[in-house]
Amino acid sequence: MGPADEYIDQYLKENIIESETIQRMRHVIHEFSSRTPKVIVTKCIDGRVHGSKLKGYPVTTIRFGRTDGNIVSTSQNNFWYWNRIDKAVNDAQCNTPNMPALFIAYMHRSDIPGLGCAAHGGDEVAAAKAVRDQVTAVRKVFPRDKLYVIEGITNTDSMAETLIFEDGTILDSLQIGNDFGLTDPSQVFHSAFLKYQIKDPAISKNIGFRTPEQLFTGKTFDFYDEFQTSLSMKSFLIREISAIVSSGEFDTQKLIQPDLLSALYHKLSSVKDLPKALLPSLLYQTIWNIAYSMYQKRKLSLMNPDDRWKLLDHAEEIICYGDGFELLQRNKAVLVKTGRGDDTDALLVAKKVLSRNRQHEAKPYPIIIHLNVENSCELRSWADFNENISSRMNTMLRNLDTVFEKEEVVILTTFSYLDQKRFYPIRTKEDPRISYPVNIMTDINGEDLFSTIGLRAREAFYAAERIPSAYEARYFD
């Protein structure tokens, strides 16, 4: 393997490990999802504002849209954009019928000059207008009982969020933490909760029979950074917070710092026209984000200056185009999704960001572009595969041709499943830029050759062959 293939090989091994945890913990994720709204979030392609971790939502429970600066065409002709929202609304109508779907459009900002949104040249007024234009357009299409719409701001330094509601109410996690004099994430929780082992036997087992207090110790906290533990605590907290709100037992609860919980509950309760069914999940999301942003500030304070700057500034290594990249860590990739109405504009910005990063830190390989098409269900026929994977992939490859026509690049083409997030390498056309040596569609890529059993066998073999070496690379290097 050359340097690019070696990088991709390690990248895919890391993905396999994380996707194995999703598979093992799918019942925990399902329990969480049954208590929360169907959420769609739109963000910038900036890798520093990646994922659902800062909101306390497990991977697979949020649908994302990402365009440069969160600039999108809200014309009804932008099929990708509106279809993504319709999926969440329909999902809510069928699976959480008394709870509307939730839409949040985020801008992002930094407290450090020059590290704001590159797509807007650091202009926070322009970034705010882009998300405000979105929420205004979406509110005109969907009633509140079908889709509740919020405007948001992410601070890329601390990961603190600000939620701006339609009536003008502002919920600022950073400000709330400062108002309550909180300096450590454990301070968000009740002292009794921290000291005793969780009584739920399944949760207790999943977190290694430790007390919550023990999850807030060490250089990094397992409460946030150990995947299985974090998933389990998310499910536990949403269940307990929902129960507190439902019972109204705020005075006797021993989960959250009482004054903080009371202040947040009253603030959310006062938001005009906020559906009551959304109150527990927004309360949970805010509590989680207050604690999570404090954890980020703590991590930054412990880093040496070079590592701290790398985390705060752009340090993306790869361009990811398509869907299904939620397992990647912060600042790993510039994330370009379909849905702006002109994907090539977003890809041009991604190219600019990667080119700048590589000037600061040279790599022994060209720019790597990972193109992934994600499917929501099993592929049962060649027609399924062609319509949902191959044809979409080839259409997206033409956008890469337009943007990187004169550039030397390496392309990884994969597909994944919505509930699994595992990347399966494939080739849908002959292209020398697609250089990774694995193609799980070899010899079953045709109407007479394809079978569901054959595909499943290839997928299982691909993962099984790499899992041992992936774990060895992680734990024994």
Q: Would you state the pLDDT for residue 291?
A: 97
Rounded Cα gap, residues 133 and 113, in angstroms = 25
Strand order in the sheet with 101-109: 62-66, 39-43, 101-109, 147-155, 161-164, 170-172
**pLDDT (0 to 100) of residue 2:** 86
Beta strands 409-417; 367-375: pairing state? parallel
For residues 184 and 294, the answer to whether their CB atoms sit within 8 Å is: yes
Structurally, the chain folds into a number of domains equal to 2
Specify whether 280 is located in the same domain as 377: no
pLDDT digits (tens, 9 = 90+) for 401-427: 999 988 899 999 999 999 999 999 999
322 and 251 both lie in a single domain: no
Residue 1: is its pLDDT beyond 70? no
Domain boundary among 250, 282, 304: 304
Same domain, 288 and 262: yes
Residue 12 forms part of a structural domain: no
- The C-alpha atoms of residue 232 and residue 204 are separated, in whole angstroms, by 9
Burial 202-211 (b: 16+ CB within 10 A, else e): ebbebbeeeb
Q: Same domain for 349 and 281?
A: no
- Does 88 map to a domain? yes
Torsion, Cα 464 467 469 472, to 10 degrees, reads -150
Dist. CA 191–CA 210, nearest whole Å: 15
18 in a domain, yes or no?
no
Residue 399 sits in the same domain as residue 449: yes
| Residue 225 within any structural domain of the chain | yes
Q: What's residue 446's pLDDT?
A: 80
Residue 476 has pLDDT above 50, yes or no: no
Q: What is the DSSP string of 359-396?
A: HHS--SS-EEEEEEEEESS---SHHHHIIIIIHHHHHH
* pLDDT at residue 475, as a whole number: 44
CB 304 within 8 A of CB 311: no
Last residue of a domain, one of 276, 304, 332: 304
Domain span at residue 404 reads 318-476
53-97, pLDDT tens digit by residue?
Answer: 889 999 999 999 999 999 999 999 999 899 999 999 999 999 999
In terms of domains, do 288 and 329 share one? no
Domain stop point among 304, 326, 352: 304
pLDDT in tens, 225-275: 999 999 999 999 999 999 999 999 999 999 999 999 999 999 999 999 999
Q: What are phi and psi of 152, to 5 degrees?
A: -140, 160
Q: Which of 161-170, 211-220, 269-278, 347-356 has the lowest mean pLDDT?
A: 347-356
Q: In 96-185, which ranges are continuous DSSP H helix? A: 124-141, 173-179
Where does residue 378 rank: exposed (0-12), middle (13-18), buried (19+ CB within 10 A)? Answer: exposed
Longest dimension (CA), the chain: 67
